[in-house]
Amino acid sequence: MSTPVPLAEFLHFLQFNQGLSTNTLAAYRTDLNKFIAWLEQQKLAWQNLQNEQLEDFILDLSSERKAASNARLLSSVKRLYLWAQQQKLLDSNPVQQVVAPKAERKIPKVLSESQIDDLLDAPDLGTALGLRDRAILELMYASGLRVSEVVELPFEQLNLNAGMVQVTGKGAKERIVPIGEEAAYWLQRYLQGARAELLGKKVASTLFVSRLGRQMTRQTLWHRVRNLAESVGIFSDLSPHGLRHAFATHLLNHGADLRSVQLLLGHSDLSTTQIYTHVAKARLQSLHQQHHPRG
């Protein structure tokens, strides 16, 4: 007799033993609920699933989802089975040989330095929200923080005197990132009055707060950035990581080494950072063709 997939126990393990973020846990839950629904539809027992059957599941989704999404889903399923085997819920891992579909690595679109300047100047500095937004933009461009890292950043992890911020990234990994004089200046201005004005009589542990005096959400921050970009004529397909992409690419364009950029971004694998070398090379090639007499 088949037993239910131990989803709740697995997610509990990921949260408390692996330290995964709320957003990552939500992605696991979404993927595995999709997998469980497919098992029920096919009347398959999860303990007895075979490589070929899991491959069929991924193949069924290939017309609906991008390769990267399917690769993530397969990774979620395989991690569930590995955990189940380690917990002695399974004698062996029946799907360990399944190979993830190859995902195309897209080169991110990056804002130019002049576009970044326009974006940084976009907030209305006569308002508390404008000062907050300027401080956020300056911090993101100066440090390359992820959107989730910005909204979840505890107030006490900013050290303006040292010009550093302590960040807790993916997998609960901590890193120290310099923020530079310009970002420190705008953060100081935000802290001198705008934050207290937004908080009112409320208390918040995070550095940045919403107009209601609460922790900002990722969606709120992203909408603010997109609206500010559009207000200065930037209508490109700007991603939530737009400032992070610009941070990395502009550093490389100005001579930073790849390993240093990897550490600043908090990438565990250097190959993840290497995508930005393609952006930098493309930029250099474009400049060469534009300005060299034999370009």
| pLDDT tens, N- to C-terminus, the chain (295 residues) | 467 889 999 999 998 888 888 888 998 999 899 889 988 888 888 888 877 787 777 777 665 566 677 778 888 888 999 999 999 988 878 777 776 655 555 556 778 889 999 999 999 999 999 999 999 999 999 888 988 899 999 999 999 999 999 988 777 778 888 898 999 999 999 999 999 999 999 999 999 999 999 999 988 998 999 999 999 998 877 777 888 888 888 887 777 776 777 777 776 565 555 555 555 444 444 544 554 444 4
pLDDT value, residue 295: 40
Q: Which residue has the tokens 């090379």?
A: 281
Q: Would you say 149 and 166 are in contact if contact means Cβ atoms under 8 Å apart?
A: no
Helix and strand tally (H, E) in the chain?
Answer: 14, 3
What pLDDT sits at residue 1? 46
Q: In what order do the strands lie in the sheet with 164-168?
A: 158-159, 164-168, 174-178
Q: Which residues are catalytic?
A: 146, 170, 241, 244, 267, 276
DSSP secondary structure code for residue 80 in this structure:
H
Taken in order of first residue, the domains within the chain and their CATH numbers are: 7-86 (1.10.150.130), 113-291 (1.10.443.10)
The pLDDT assigned to 63 comes to 54
Nearest to 267 by CA among 176, 173, 179: 173
pLDDT of residue 56: 76
- Pairwise CA distance, residues 260 & 248, whole Å: 10
Q: What is the dihedral of CA 206, 218, 12, 86, to 10 degrees?
A: -120
The token pair that represents 167 in the structure block:
């960040």
Query: At residue 176, what are phi and psi to the nearest 5 degrees?
Result: -105, 125
CA-to-CA distance for 130 and 141, rounded, in angstroms? 16
Cα(207)–Cα(150) distance, rounded to whole angstroms?
8
Residue 8 C-alpha from the chain's centroid: 24
Helix axes 67-86, 51-61, angle to 10 degrees: 150
State both tokens at 76. Answer: 């979620």
First to last CA, the chain: 70
Sequence-distant contacts of 121-127: CB under 8 A, at least 24 apart: 121/232, 122/228, 122/229, 122/231, 122/232, 123/228
